[in-house]
Amino acid sequence: MNRLLYPLIFITVIFTSQSQADSTPSEFIHFQIGFETTLSDEKIIKLMQSAKAKPRALFMWSSGISATYRSNDPMEPAEFIDKARKETSSFYRNALKSNKIRLKDFAAKNSKKEFLESESLQKQVRSLLNIRNSLENFTSTIDKGLPLIFAIEVKTPKDKREILEKNQLVKTYNSITHIENNNSMGATIPYAYKEKLNLKPEKLRKEYQAPLVTGATAGELYDLMIDLIN
């Protein structure tokens, strides 16, 4: 689901890989944990390894964009995170291309004079440029390996549960109970949450604003658009 707001931005995209149904044996537990902020991959990998936890989903954020990567493929933490970064980066690079196409189409259909005289046209371009700035920052954060993950979903042995619960990095905890009845495709119906919690830290919930775009005059907006599409 994508939700785009002007002049603020909040984008959520969910990636899912379902090559096999996820089954959690009785000796394992399945839950989500959230952190106070985005953490480095190294810290998250070390945390999961300490509890022999297997990742099932990553919750990522940067510059107003939230992305969830989910997979039932059995992978070690480092491999899971690496795959999540690569696939998420690829998705948003395509989004950047689409954004540029929309800007080009807009410029072709509207003259500079029409643009400068219309608040509605200026609003549309401001929104597109805000989104572009957010997308550029997000892909840069991914590709540079900067802190991106604010929560994870894992499967871990029951006797390792306290290692995660008591770790000082963990701020939010959400137990998940699998539902046993199957759907028509023969896969286990996902899960029921013990308690619906917002895993995202409070400071990451604010809508994102690109200062250069938000404070730009109509003329500056037009020049920004033309520079980007040329």
Q: What is the pLDDT of residues 63-113, one digit of tens each?
A: 999 999 998 888 999 999 999 999 999 999 999 999 999 999 999 999 999
d(CA 18, CA 128): 33
The pTM of this model reads 0.80
pLDDT more than 70, % of the chain: 80
Residue 141 reports pLDDT greater than 50: yes
The pair of structure tokens assigned to 165 is 């619960």
Stated as kind and residue range, the H or E segment containing 96 is helix 77-109
d(CA 79, CA 84): 9
For the beta carbon of residue 230, count every other beta carbon within 10 angstroms. Answer: 7
Stated as kind and residue range, the H or E segment containing 200 is none
Residue 38 reports pLDDT greater than 90: yes
Q: What is the DSSP string of 64-94?
A: TEEEEEEE-S---HHHHHHHHHHHHHHHHHH
Around 58, how many Cα atoms within 13 Å sit in the side-chain half-sphere?
31
Cβ contacts of 193 within 8 Å, gap of 6 or more: 174, 175, 176, 177
Residue holding tokens 């696939």?
Answer: 87
Q: What is the pLDDT of residues 195-208, one digit of tens each?
A: 556 888 888 888 88
d(CA 10, CA 170): 25
- Mean pLDDT of the residues in the chain: 83
Cβ contacts of 107 within 8 Å, gap of 6 or more: 225, 226, 229
pLDDT at 188: 39
